[in-house]
Structure 1
Amino acid sequence: MRLDGVWWLEDRLRQQLRTVPFEVPPGTSGIEVRLEYDTSGGAVLDLGCAGPAGFRGWSGGARAEFRVGVARSTPGYLAGDIMPGEWAVWLGLHRVPPDGVRYSLEITLDDRVPEPVPDLSGADFNPPRRPPARELPAVDGKRWFAGDLHAHSQHSDGALGIRALAWLAAEAGLDFLAVTDHNTISHYPFLEKRSAGSGVTLIPGQEVTTELGHANVWGAPKWIDFRRPASEWMKQADKAGALFSVNHPLAGDCAWRHHLTTQPSIAELWHWSWLDRSWGEPLAWARRHPAGVIPVGGSDFHAPGGTPAGLGEPVTWVLAEECSVPALLDGIRAGRTAVSASRTGPLLLRCGDELVASDADGLVLVRPDETRVVVRSDAAGRRTFPASQTGMYRLETWRNEVVALCA
């Protein structure tokens, strides 16, 4: 099946996500889709796929072709039985210039015998070289774990497979990593094995992505339908016992502009794009929420050297009973979080009714009421303060640059 045509800006304004239905007969073992279009004028078209039972994959603008098969599928797409009936290619008109974009869409069906899934156990990978853990105070039997809550793999627009991503996280000294590929869950089946092999707890996540803003959902077993209103993403996450976070609410053209009927409790206040941390708008954004938000951070990692931030820049710290997915999510849900620029740099932790500032000599502690005090560390490089106020504390330089914060 082949379609050729032109999408116009008026088409995008009427309906951004278009479906191209096609019939799949019994005995089909694979579906291949190829999209060609003129990108010279800045056009961007997204790709996805649905079967009779619903979602089968999404790659957005990261790929111009994909295959859905019984045994294997292109990253971003779910392998499994090819049910007969009506399927659909999803075409997202993400960017369409005023003079239109010519496109050609080709859909091919085959009945080949499925290829066996190769053994990708990773025997060619050396064990990761994990740096020493940082010594931090325990609280009522709970420990602080370091991680990154926002990273992408080849299952969306990242450069690395799950195995390489997990190894990189281990060598960065992270205890956990949320793999949050765009609008897909095709990476989920690979997480448990790579967690065991790397020693890094991989949290199943998905970045629900639209042009009005992005949100991370951690721990949801099923796909979150990005086509629905954002309030329904929250409801689906809550029903599944998962967590919902507004991502980079002030980040350029993907700043958060969705209307929500319920106030979100978690927000990615510290995104890699907060390059000038004397810029106070992320803190002002948090203050505008009457109930406050639980702060987390995310590198939004895509590739080594591909963005200004590496994996774990910033680091989110979670106080939890153990480094398991349920325990980590419980810690975030309870607001036991802190964020720092790096794993080994200045750090501010709320430990019961005390604040512990580590490696922070000469920095300024800023309380929720904006009163301030200079940190003078002891011989061990720490200083404690009473945590008598409700809200977010932070550490700043004398130039008002944020270097650490805690819920």
Structure 2
Amino acid sequence: MRWMACELHSHTYHSDGRQSLLELAQGARALGFDCVALTDHNTMTGLENKELVEQATGMTIISGMEWTTFYGHMVTIGLIEFVDWRPAGPRDIQAGIAKVHAHGGIAGLAHPFRIGSPMCTGCFWEFEIADWNAVDYIEVWSGTFPSIKTDNARAFRLWTEQLNAGYRIAATSGRDWHAQDRTEDPVSVTYLLLDDSEGSETERAVRALAAGRASVTMGPLVTLALRSETAVYGIGDRVPKQGQGNGFYAVATIDFQVRADKWAFPGAGYSLAVTSNLGVIGEISAHAAQSDYRFDIPGEGLLWMRAELKGTVRGVRTTIAFTNAIYLDPGEGV
């Protein structure tokens, strides 16, 4: 299995972007990405030369589309063909998500708390979700330097609330990339853990996100594992009730070498925490000279856990990276 650096929200001139697919892929490659999802608004025509662009750039391009409606924007990726967004009304988004799933795609809320009409039509999520089990992921970080934006903080809280309610929903970042404008802001990356089974890289990337095997960062890659003498569970895994018992502990790992020439946070003063539905399990200072950090796990009541890396960036103490969750079936003990 290996981690793939992905940009999961982008546009070309086939919707409101100011770049071709080739320019998008070249720009993503220059920033150290391995793949990019093209999610033009309500169209998939920008994917016409997908294979040629992949051959020219070495990038994996994931097919997708951003459903852009009056009631919210929904990013769909992995689609094998166009799925009509127009019937989606405020109370029937479930039917739209079901159609996306039926056509090989997965669906996520895009920037759910961004300012809406009239500044950005439909950008604020207003669809009624009858069953959160249908939602594959939430874009909790949108734009550049995403961790300091208040609308993203609300999206992150929404994701946490759904985890606390027992739902298994992934979290991603998306630049909502429209043009090859230079930025000095930190750029976030969604790393997806690809399995070794059959299928194209695109299929394995979509499968990884659907399974919640994702870690989001503006800098180093943070991963998390739950270990005992006899078992190891990673990000996105579910620990069955019968597999829970004494002796489990968490190990968070920080890789400071990923895309190391694309980011720098001097004087960050990193702190690493493992958080859960019970709150913070443990927190420790972290630094580039050490990669693995062990955390003891409480004995009961856990539904999920994730790792979070914080540090000072441009004078602001903020979250730099976070993992998706490891899930634990309800039961006494870990």
Q: Greater CA radius of gyration, 1 or 2?
A: 1
2:49 partner SS? helix
Match of 2:320 in 1: 403
Displacement of 1:268: 0.5
Separation of aligned partners in 2, 1:401 and 1:363: 10
Match of 2:99 in 1: 236
Match of 1:299 in 2: 175
Asked whether the 8 Å contact 2:147–2:320 carries over to 1, the reply is no
Normalising by structure 2, report the TM-score.
0.71
Displacement of 1:402: 1.3
Displacement of 1:306: 7.8
| Structure 1 position 193 matched with structure 2 position 67 | no
Q: Which has the higher strand share?
A: 1
Displacement of 1:179: 0.5
Which residue of 145, 148, 155 corresponds with 1:282? Answer: 155
| Structure 1 position 151 matched with structure 2 position 10 | yes
Match of 1:184 in 2: 43
Shift in alpha-carbon separation, 1:309–1:362, aligned structure 2, 3 A: closer
Deviation by residue 1:347-377 (Cα, 9 ceiling, x = unmatched): 3112436321234863242412332412333
Asked whether the 8 Å contact 1:294–1:337 carries over to 2, the reply is yes
In structure 1, stretches of 5+ residues that fail to align are: 1-141
| Structure 1 position 339 matched with structure 2 position 187 | no
Normalising by structure 1, report the TM-score.
0.59
| Structure 1 position 315 matched with structure 2 position 189 | yes
Displacement of 1:209: 0.4
Deviation by residue 1:224-274 (Cα, 9 ceiling, x = unmatched): 222122222201111122111111111111121111233113110111174
| Structure 1 position 270 matched with structure 2 position 184 | no
Asked whether the 8 Å contact 1:301–1:307 carries over to 2, the reply is no
Separation of aligned partners in 2, 1:154 and 1:306: 18
Asked whether the 8 Å contact 1:358–1:383 carries over to 2, the reply is no
Asked whether the 8 Å contact 1:175–1:201 carries over to 2, the reply is yes
Separation of aligned partners in 1, 2:182 and 2:98: 34
Asked whether the 8 Å contact 1:272–1:308 carries over to 2, the reply is no
Separation of aligned partners in 2, 1:309 and 1:157: 22
Alignment of 1:7-406 (within 5 A): 142-229=1-88, 230-253=93-116, 254-263=123-132, 264-272=135-143, 274=146, 276=148, 280-289=153-162, 290=165, 291-305=167-181, 313-321=187-195, 324-341=201-218, 345-351=219-225, 352=234, 354-359=251-256, 362-368=270-276, 369-371=278-280, 372-377=282-287, 379=289, 381-386=290-295, 390-397=304-311, 401-406=318-323
Match of 2:245 in 1: none
Asked whether the 8 Å contact 1:292–1:391 carries over to 2, the reply is no
1:192 partner SS? helix
Deviation by residue 1:255-298 (Cα, 9 ceiling, x = unmatched): 21111233113110111174525874233211222214211110
User: What's the % identity of the aligned pairs?
Assistant: 24
Asked whether the 8 Å contact 2:10–2:37 carries over to 1, the reply is yes
Shift in alpha-carbon separation, 1:292–1:249, aligned structure 2, 3 A: farther
Shift in alpha-carbon separation, 1:287–1:275, aligned structure 2, 3 A: closer
**Range moving further from structure 2, 293-302 or 267-276:** 267-276
Amino acid at match of 1:357: I
Asked whether the 8 Å contact 2:309–2:322 carries over to 1, the reply is yes
Asked whether the 8 Å contact 1:347–1:358 carries over to 2, the reply is yes
Number of aligned residue pairs: 260
Asked whether the 8 Å contact 2:17–2:178 carries over to 1, the reply is yes
Asked whether the 8 Å contact 1:375–1:383 carries over to 2, the reply is no
Asked whether the 8 Å contact 1:201–1:324 carries over to 2, the reply is yes
Match of 1:30 in 2: none
Shift in alpha-carbon separation, 1:182–1:308, aligned structure 2, 3 A: farther
Relative contact order (C-alpha < 8 Å, sep 6+): which is higher?
Answer: 2
Displacement of 1:383: 2.8
Deviation by residue 1:320-347 (Cα, 9 ceiling, x = unmatched): 0367101111111111101112xxx233
2:148 partner SS? coil
C-alpha RMSD over aligned residues: 2.5
In structure 2, stretches of 5+ residues that fail to align are: 117-122, 226-233, 235-249, 257-267, 325-334
